[in-house]
Chains A and B, each alone.
Chain A
């Protein structure tokens, strides 16, 4: 074949390839025509206002204020007075110049995109900018909302919102860069309810190139839908008061409405302040370095030994099993003696006591005996079976399991298993004596303050609990269903009477008659409470108290946990008593007590470890 002709055929072949490609691009594939239309349209996002958080009395806990973000469209930027611009927003001239230079270099990549240039400017800055906006082509302001907190309380509870980062965007493609999302607390749990829906204005670029006009006179625009408000079960005043009482203390307060499981107040101290919350971006590194770890929500995450408040659980289980009854009496030899010189100590009180009195005076020996009676029940073949049966019953009280609250960070606490003891003592080498500390809420058991408050609610309800929750009203029926279900603990109501009576006497028996919680007494409130003094390997004992009030038709169930504060009857009981007064009477008349609680600092007793940066 003639080489020249071969070459011509080759060239025609390449021509054919190009032709086929043209046919594909221009005549067959429709995607490019669609893309072209999209290219010519410009979508400017309209951001919705985030839903507000309202308290149970209708007060705003978390609200919104309008701020503005300054946006920049690099392609439209013309020469402007950078100095004047920077003076308005109080930003660094060099930084701005650097950014502009960067945009100029990447002009091709950027195209018609817009960027957030300065975030959350003040009203004053906005009005200054609006006045001079004509001088700065390519810059415009869009309204955003920022959070305000009228109550100055509940920072840990509400949590904060922040701009989404890249990692988050990869996992959640429905978000766009520049959106805000709840990172912790209610803001996170109810993100879907609160966030609302973004809208947009559609503009078209006309043949004049840079001038924008509204597309189809706004017919295609979509308004932003503001987020739904959330009515929280929190009582704003009570929350604020609780935080005040915990000043300079480490621990937590949880208050629940027993019949509904609604959380009235939940305090973790030391916690974030509202000021820190609003400036989270600036404060974040300081917060991380705070040795008391204010971001840590002790109320739902810290597994403390519950101490003597746990006796009520054993008292109830033992009665239901029939291994003791309300008139069963056990001797106390200033403690419980066992084996070769083994002894679990107790404090001085009359002996022997019946069930009611054992709660009132918090006798350790009584519960050592009771617990052994449960574990050595002839119904079960061995300690493994009886222990597991006991554990199953305790689980029903919400210990060792998550309660299903709406805290994303809620933890289950600890409840040991037979394996735990096999590991400590060896398989088959342990018996009821070895695990005796469980009878009084010590040893391997760990409960969160939320679980302890839930226990108070169970006793107040005489036999059931509702998963503690923060949400009172929300459009979501699933949530409502979840938080109206009653979890029965499998104890008949009649067995609660002696326990309730014991708790009533612990608070309301005249001082000197042996009631451990007489300091919690509040005239007319019929508070029923149980103290706990949890031994603590790190320094002084933890002070624990749980109570509910009034005795009949209880309205509030509380747990107070103060780290390294000594006996439960002192600080924890007094704090709980004040919270009850605040909630039931709205006003606190015992101002001397109030002041002494607020002014006492117990923080210095808490051993802290230096935290890493």
Chain B
């Protein structure tokens, strides 16, 4: 006992320096970028508090004060013990803001105290992570226990619902990143693959046709089945036949050209041929299923495949409903714009188009500090907040963008590794939460500015302008750094 406590005390002062370095690099890059994004010759002083960069400095200072409090004053034990209290207070705030908040850009998610705005949704990421870590960190928590699953899922889903009610769908989406924590806690990787497949099917249906999506889904399921069964003969032959079906009609049509008006060539669509090829297999498979009703082992495999296909069919046929009824018109437009179905560079596609121009015009080394024309002339809206990465891309080029991306990747992976090494389940799970949230923000935000993810208005952690976001990411990160100080090296 005594030895242990000495060891712990010894480790207690060890703040993880790489994380600290990442943090300071990011806030500095952010501050400079904001200065550049809103720069005007009338206000050149970087501490001018009437400007956003001046304000960002204030927020940085406030954040640092909190960081110091967390590192040296606040007892880390309260995070676990008080996490239900924090969580419930935050739920009340999230709920209250729906009625008492002020509407900003169509969503009601801001409290205003004077001219200072505060966004509870930003801070609820912390409380949710803390409570999730508490729940999952309990001694006998297991994902094979249904009650436990429900409790853990409820912790995540309740704030999501409230945030959706505030019409801040983007922030709500970030919570989906916490699925990674479930994954690390023992959730099957297939669930994530299933999730990704659903997205893929969704996109394929919108982009192509329901038939094409169905064909793809069925083909992939069968290839997987043969892969799992180890049926190499079927696997190889089916892949080659599918490739043949997919490309030969294209080649024929190319050869003969579009001159032939005969509609037979319209029948040569790849999905039709693939389906004709697969149909007998479906038949045989269903026959097998019936025959092996009582042989559990063979059924187990097949059951998953059946479920997959049913899910695929459900997704395909609910796409229309989802797309037209559930999504708000602007969200639908953003997705259509991303997929290139509609091209409206003046309207909905304006932001992304201008943002791509800004980043693309940066080239290898960028135009240099304060020399970005795109950012300077305010072509890119929201460029000090959600689209801040444009400024970096334009002024610092590929090299600068890569530096930022690498810092983030390093930060996220470092957190995962530190957390995984930690013996304390609470710290471990909280760390995973932090890493997931950072990862979601970084990929969605950067992807959005580069036009590979639909426009979802969430900030780039520690770089984007904004008090709530700066403070909440600081708290999120420093609580982990503080918890990590207990780390025991085996």
Binding site for B on A (CB under 8 A): 3-4, 6-8, 11-12, 14-15, 17-19, 21-23, 25-27, 29, 31-33, 35-36, 39-40, 75, 108-109, 111-112, 205, 207-209
Instruction: List 10 additional contacts besides A4-B417, A14-B439; criterion CB under 8 Å.
Output: A14-B443, A18-B446, A22-B401, A26-B360, A27-B364, A39-B373, A109-B347, A109-B350, A111-B379, A209-B376
- Cα-based distance from A25 to B361 in the complex (angstroms): 8
Q: What separation, in Å, do the CA atoms of A22 and B446 have in the docked complex? A: 10
**Which residues of the other chain, B, contact A75 by a CB distance below 8 angstroms?**
378
B402 on the A face (CB < 8 A): yes
B402 touches which one: A19, A25, A207 (CB < 8 A)?
A19
- Residues of A contacting B358 with CB < 8 Å? 36
Bitwise interface map of B from 399 to 424 toward A, beta carbon under 8 Å scored 1, else 0 = 00110010001001100110010000
Give Cα A92 to B151, complex, Å.
Answer: 63
Contact indicator B450/A18 (Cβ below 8 Å): yes
> What A residues does B409 contact at CB under 8 A?
11-12, 15
Task: Quote the shortest CB–CB distance from A73 to chain B (angstroms).
Answer: 13
Interface presence of B45 (CB below 8 A)? no
Interface centre among B183, B351, B357, B378 (most CB of A within 10 A): B357
Residue among A4, A18, A29 making CB contact with B443, cutoff 8 Å: A18
- By the criterion CB–CB under 8 Å, are B401 and A36 in contact? no
Interface residues in chain B, defined as those with a beta carbon under 8 Å from any beta carbon in chain A: 40-41, 180, 183-184, 189, 346-347, 350-351, 354, 356-364, 370-371, 373-374, 376-379, 381, 393, 397-398, 401-402, 405, 409, 412-413, 416-417, 420, 439, 443, 446-447, 450, 452
With contacts A14-B443, A18-B443, A18-B447 known, is A35 near B377, CB below 8 A?
no
Q: Is there an interface contact between A40 and B373, defined as CB atoms closer than 8 Å?
A: yes
What residues on B are CB-neighbors of A18 within 8 Å?
Answer: 405, 443, 446-447, 450
A290 → chain B closest CB, angstroms: 41
If over half of A's interface residues share one DSSP class (helix, strand or loop), that class is named, otherwise mixed; here it is helix
Which of B363, B398, B416 contacts A4 (CB under 8 A)?
A: B416
Among residues of A, the one whose C-beta sits closest to the C-beta of B380 is A108
18 contacts between A and B (CB under 8 A): A3-B189, A8-B417, A11-B412, A15-B409, A18-B450, A19-B402, A19-B405, A21-B452, A22-B393, A22-B450, A25-B360, A26-B360, A26-B363, A32-B357, A33-B360, A36-B360, A39-B357, A40-B373
Q: Determine how close the nearest CB of chain A comes to the CB of B114; give it in whole angstroms.
A: 24
User: Do the beta carbons of B443 and A7 come within 8 Å of each other?
Assistant: no
Assess the B377–A40 pair: CB atoms within 8 A: yes
Given contacts A3-B183, A8-B416, contact A26 B364 (CB under 8 A): yes
Specify the chain B residue showing the minimal Cβ separation from A17: B452
Most buried by B among A12, A39, A75: A39
Chain A residues with CB below 8 A from B447, complex form: 17-18, 21
Tell me which residues across on chain A come within 8 A of B379, comparing CB atoms.
39, 111
Question: What chain A residues lie within 8 Å of B405 (beta carbons)?
Answer: 15, 18-19, 22
Q: Which residue of A lies closest to B353 (CB)?
A: A35
Chain B contacts of A111 at CB under 8 A?
Answer: 350, 378-379
Contact A36 B357 (CB under 8 A): yes
Flag if B398 contacts A23 (CB, 8 Å): yes
Q: Which residue of A lies closest to B401 (CB)?
A: A22
Q: Are B439 and A11 in contact (CB under 8 A)?
A: yes
Which of B346, B351, B360 is packed against the most chain A CB atoms within 10 Å? Answer: B360
- Which of A7, A33, A108 is close to B416, meaning CB atoms less than 8 Å apart? A7
Identify the closest chain A residue to B408 (Cβ): A15
Chain B hits for A31, CB < 8 A: 360
Choose from A11, A26, A108, A207 the contact partner of B398 (Cβ within 8 Å). A26
Residues of B with C-beta under 8 A to A205: 373, 377
What A residues does B381 contact at CB under 8 A?
A: 108
A35 to chain B, nearest CB (A): 5
Q: How many whole Å from B272's CB to the nearest CB in chain A?
A: 32
Instruction: Check B450–A21 contact: CB distance below 8 A.
Output: yes
How many Å from the CB of A111 to the closest CB on chain B?
7
Q: Which residues of A contact B373 (CB under 8 A)?
A: 36, 39-40, 205
Q: A352: shortest Cβ distance to chain B, in Å? A: 67
Cβ–Cβ contact A209 & B40, under 8 A: yes
Question: Could you say which residues of chain A place their CB within 8 Å of the CB of B356?
Answer: 25, 32
Bound state CA distance, A29 and B416, in angstroms?
35
Residue pair B413, A32 in contact (C-beta under 8 Å): no
Q: Inside 8 A of A207's CB, which chain B residues have their CB?
A: 41, 370-371, 376
Pair A32/B184 contact, Cβ less than 8 Å: no
Contacts of B347 on A, CB cut-off 8 Å? 109
A538 to chain B, nearest CB (A): 51
Complex Cα–Cα for A26 and B417 (A): 32
Residue among A26, A33, A108, A205 with most chain B CB within 10 A: A26
Kindly list the 8 A-B residue pairs having the minimum CB-CB distance in the complex, ordered from nearest.
A32-B360, A36-B361, A25-B360, A26-B398, A108-B381, A35-B357, A40-B373, A21-B450
Chain A: minimal CB distance from B183 (Å): 7
Bound-state Cα–Cα, A21 to B446, Å:
10
Q: Return the contact of A112 from the options B351, B357, B377, B417 (Cβ within 8 A).
A: B377
In the complex the two chains form, what is the Cα distance from A429 to B379 in whole Å?
A: 79
Q: Are B452 and A33 in contact (CB under 8 A)?
A: no
Q: Are B184 and A4 in contact (CB under 8 A)?
A: yes
Point out which of B189, B371, B379, B443 has the most chain A C-beta atoms below 10 A from its C-beta: B379
Q: How far is the CA of A427 from the CA of B29 in the complex (A)?
A: 93
CA distance A17 to B446 in the complex (A): 11
Nearest CB to that of A30 among chain B residues?
A: B360
Which residue of A is nearest B363, CB measured? A26
**CB closest residue in chain B, given A29:** B360
Distance to closest chain B CB from A15 (angstroms): 5
Contact with A33, one of B183, B361, B370, B413 (Cβ below 8 angstroms):
B361
Cα of A31 to Cα of B356 in the assembled complex, Å: 10
Q: Judging by beta carbons under 8 Å apart, are B413 and A11 in contact?
A: yes
How far, in whole Å, are A33 and B40 apart by their CA atoms in the complex?
23
Q: List, in ascending order, chain A residues with CB within 8 A of B402's CB.
A: 19, 22
For B436, give the chain A residue with the smallest CB separation: A7
Contact A33 B363 (CB under 8 A): yes
Taken together as a complex, chains A and B put the C-alpha atoms of A22 and B379 apart, in Å, by 20
Among B363, B416, B446, point to the contact of A27 (Cβ < 8 A). Answer: B363
Q: How far is the CA of A279 from the CA of B36 in the complex (A)?
A: 52
Bound Cα distance from A4 to B414, whole angstroms? 12
Q: Complex Cα distance A112/B376, Å?
A: 13
**Cα–Cα distance between A23 and B361 once the two chains are bound (Å):** 12
> Closest approach, in angstroms, between the C-beta of A17 and any C-beta of chain B?
7
Distance in angstroms from A176 CB to nearest chain B CB is 14
Closest Cβ of chain B: how far from A203's Cβ, in Å? 12
Residue of A at shortest CB range from B394? A36
Closest to B185 in A: A3
Are B184 and A35 touching (Cβ within 8 A)? no
With A4-B184, A26-B363 as contacts: A208 and B41 at CB distance below 8 Å = yes
